[in-house]
């Protein structure tokens, strides 16, 4: 801890959307988190958490995984316990990707999408993806460990064009490269 700044400890990332109209294929958004080692913070992810999974050490958990947006409230919720993440990790990138099973879909095709990043009761970022409406995936920010070992959040909704979920998880770490 540096002075009175405790940094971020436990953060929740949530995404929601309305179901597709009757007769249309279901829309499926997925939260994805990728961790990066201090030795290579913009290289290949050390591991990726997605699709109703958790990190090997239990510090990142995807508690809800909706395939169609037919839930009450937030359809997918991911919790990151940054204060428990091993010191060898310096960066966590979180993103949202649209499954492309039934043809190309962008955020403009998603009915009433919403994103919330919060610590406790404090919203760090709220978005409806309108800034990246032509994208098929988007990073929603970086969590970065500073020089004193504390975590900070760098909000940035950055769209990725014509990409599938597998490619997105490999390239999402290149967002916000200094």
- Measured CA to CA, the distance from residue 175 to residue 178 in angstroms comes to 9
| Model confidence, pTM | 0.91
Residue 142 exposed, middle or buried by CB count within 10 Å (0-12, 13-18, 19+): buried
The one-character DSSP state at 171 is H
Q: What is the pLDDT of residues 112-161, one digit of tens each?
A: 999 999 999 999 999 999 999 999 999 999 999 998 999 999 999 999 98
Domains of the chain, each with CATH number or no CATH: 10-172 (2.60.60.30)
pLDDT band at residue 5, thresholds of 50, 70 and 90? low
* Distances in whole angstroms, Cα of residue 166 to Cα of each of 22, 39, 48, 111: 28, 23, 11, 23
């Amino acid at each position: 801890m540096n002075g009175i700044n405790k940094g971020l400890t436990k953060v929740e990332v949530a995404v929601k959307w309305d179901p597709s109209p009757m007769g249309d294929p279901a829309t499926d958004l997925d939260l994805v988190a990728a961790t990066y080692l201090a030795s290579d913070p913009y290289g290949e992810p050390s591991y990726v958490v997605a699709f109703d999974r958790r990190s090997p050490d239990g510090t990142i958990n995807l508690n809800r995984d909706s395939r169609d947006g037919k839930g009450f409230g937030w359809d997918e919720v991911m919790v990151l316990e940054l204060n428990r993440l091993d010191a060898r990790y310096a960066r966590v990138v979180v993103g949202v990707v649209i499954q492309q099973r039934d043809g190309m879909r962008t955020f403009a095709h998603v009915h009433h999408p919403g994103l919330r990043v919060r610590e406790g009761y404090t919203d760090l970022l709220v978005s409806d993806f309108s800034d990246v409406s032509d994208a098929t995936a988007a990073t929603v920010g970086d969590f970065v460990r500073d020089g004193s070992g504390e975590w900070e959040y760098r909000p940035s909704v950055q769209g990725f064009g014509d990409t599938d979920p597998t490619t997105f998880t490999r390239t999402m770490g290149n967002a916000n490269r200094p």
